[in-house]
A and B are shown apart, each in its own frame.
Chain A
Amino acid sequence: MEMMYPIIVLGGLGFLFAVLLSIATEVFAVEVDPKEEAILAALPGANCGGCGYPGCGGLAKAIADGKAPVNACSVGGAASAEKIAEIMGTTAGSTDKQVAVVLCQGDCEKAKDKYKYQGLNDCRAQNVVQGGSKACNYGCLGCGTCKDVCAFGAIEIVDGIAVIDKDKCVACGKCITACPKKIIELVPYKNEYIVKCSSKDAGKDVRSTCTIGCIGCQMCVKACPKEAITFENNLAKIDYSKCINCSICAGKCPTKAIFPGMTKKEQKELEAKKAGIVTEEVKEEVKTEPAKAEAVEETKED
């Protein structure tokens, strides 16, 4: 009989726990909204937290409860929004795909340095030392802290500034929170013209530190046919919902602070030339030259 004790005790305990657990799951059953599970399946499952909820599960619950819009997931984009809308019985509405953009073009050539930084290769660390080595206090430090947090390999460091690949970016927003300078912003994917400068300094100060910054001349504001550009804090601001990608502002900008920069612009001009649109092209060429002349002046002053 003694031999049976361990078997009885262990088996008995095991059986007891099994019964208790199965009772517990019945008694403490939590009703999960079947919608929630369906929504979770429709989400990308990257758990990136870009929506502001703790993982895809959190967002699925919020959508099922009606607390979040069906298109809250920017990673899944329109495809997942449509699926979720179907589950929720509503229409998705138009979801503009968004992408993160680094609002600085002041690379090693164009922006001046305050001092030579030799510390840790991390923007957060560099930012602690007098706001970084760039003379401009709103410039990209180029240590690649955003590149490190990007799970989608969309960020590259080119000539000392971070550049985000529009097509790889899923707008999860991790780089936006990582950037100590707070110069990364979400911009609608369809918008091609962006003021890539964050400097709130006066025009004169911007000129003295960077050749491609917004100097606040407001030429773009006047030129915009849709009145989509406003001017605040010494910085031109494009209302992306009004912008029609006409590129007039980019042509007018004397410092080329409005992206796309020179090369892409020239490509456009070439295309335009082929198409025979002469007037646009002439204006732009005239504008290009003074910008270059200014750049030369700046370097002479050094």
Chain B
Amino acid sequence: MELGKILLSTILVNNYIFARFLGICPFFGVSSKMETSIGMGAAVTFVVTISSIITYFIQMLLDKFSIGYLQTIVFILVIAALVQFVEVAMKKISPTLYNALGVYLPLITTNCVVLGVAILNIQEKYTLIQTTVNAIGASLGFTLALVLMAGIREKLVIADVPEALEGFPIALVSAGLMSIAFLGFSGLI
């Protein structure tokens, strides 16, 4: 029950894009086409889940030496190395998956969603299982936001938008409106 709550909360109520405003860069960068947004979503899900689990153990190490203030820099190091490792390994083990995720995998090395989830897991004092569920929920929420946005932007391409708002500005406006819409979930839990 507790886990279900965490999952639902990160996907809808505390959606990392619409409620916490993390990962806005890829959110706009790759949401112009449905296909790419799904690819990015899959890559993020993959990396966030693994990095959350790893950073959970890294935090234990940091706590042991009581150097918690190094959290951010160590996590960045861990995530960057991890993504690099996953890329190398995946190329050999599963070329299909590697091709599917393509360029998005290295792109998310410095994605703030990945770091954000890892740090928030620690702040919320989640257990290992809760951490995993939270990571999956966060990335599913990210994917959901990305796919929704891609759907809207594909339609926006042929919409009659005022000249000054064409392209990126109208995407920002629609993202803002979607964020307001997601506020409606706040009473859910």
A interface residue numbers (CB < 8 A to B): 5-6, 9-10, 13-14, 17, 20-21, 24-25, 27-30, 120, 122, 124-125
Instruction: Report how far A5 CA is from B62 CA in the complex, Å.
Output: 9
**A30 contact set on B, CB distance < 8 A:** 91-92, 95
Pair B89/A120 contact, Cβ less than 8 Å:
no
CB closest residue in chain A, given B160: A120
How far is the CB of A20 from the nearest CB of chain B, in Å?
7
Beyond A5-B66, A17-B77, A30-B91: 9 further Cβ-contacts under 8 Å? A5-B67, A6-B70, A10-B73, A13-B74, A13-B77, A13-B78, A20-B85, A21-B85, A28-B92
Instruction: Report how far A14 CA is from B66 CA in the complex, Å.
Output: 18
Partner of A28, one of B62, B65, B91, B159: B91
Partner of B88, one of A6, A21, A122: A21
**B62 contact set on A, CB distance < 8 A:** 9
**Scoring B residues 35 to 66 as 1 if CB is less than 8 Å from chain A, else 0, what string do you get?**
00000000000000000000000100110011
Pair A25/B81 contact, Cβ less than 8 Å:
no
How far is the CB of A92 from the nearest CB of chain B, in Å?
28
Interface check B84, CB cutoff 8 A: yes
**B81 contact set on A, CB distance < 8 A:** 17, 20-21
Instruction: Report how far A17 CA is from B88 CA in the complex, Å.
Output: 13
Instruction: Report how far A10 CA is from B73 CA in the complex, Å.
Output: 9
Instruction: Report how far A29 CA is from B61 CA in the complex, Å.
Output: 31
Instruction: Report how far A196 CA is from B65 CA in the complex, Å.
Output: 78
**B58 contact set on A, CB distance < 8 A:** 13
**B88 contact set on A, CB distance < 8 A:** 21, 24-25, 28
Instruction: Report how far A13 CA is from B81 CA in the complex, Å.
Output: 10
CB closest residue in chain A, given B67: A6
Instruction: Report how far A21 CA is from B86 CA in the complex, Å.
Output: 10
B interface residue numbers (CB < 8 A to A): 58, 61-62, 65-67, 70, 73-74, 77-78, 81, 84-85, 88-89, 91-93, 95, 158-160
- The residue among A24, A27, A29, A125 with the most chain B CB atoms within 10 A of its own CB is A24
CB closest residue in chain A, given B161: A120
Q: A24-B88, A29-B92, A30-B91 are in contact. Are A124 and B77 (CB under 8 A)?
A: no
How far is the CB of B10 from the nearest CB of chain A, in Å?
28
Q: What 6 pairs between A and B have smallest CB-CB spacing? A: A28-B92, A17-B81, A5-B65, A122-B158, A6-B67, A24-B88
Q: A9-B70, A24-B85, A30-B92 are in contact. Are A120 and B77 (CB under 8 A)?
A: no
Instruction: Report how far A28 CA is from B73 CA in the complex, Å.
Output: 28
**A120 contact set on B, CB distance < 8 A:** 158-160
**A14 contact set on B, CB distance < 8 A:** 77
23 contacts between A and B (CB under 8 A): A5-B67, A6-B70, A9-B62, A9-B67, A10-B73, A10-B74, A10-B77, A13-B58, A13-B74, A13-B77, A17-B81, A20-B81, A20-B85, A21-B85, A21-B88, A24-B85, A25-B88, A27-B92, A28-B88, A28-B89, A30-B92, A120-B158, A120-B159
**A24 contact set on B, CB distance < 8 A:** 85, 88-89
Instruction: Report how far A187 CA is from B50 CA in the complex, Å.
Output: 51
CB closest residue in chain A, given B81: A17
CB closest residue in chain A, given B82: A17
Instruction: Report how far A28 CA is from B86 CA in the complex, Å.
Output: 10
How far is the CB of A62 from the nearest CB of chain B, in Å?
13
**B158 contact set on A, CB distance < 8 A:** 120, 122, 124-125
How far is the CB of A11 from the nearest CB of chain B, in Å?
11
CB closest residue in chain B, given A18: B81
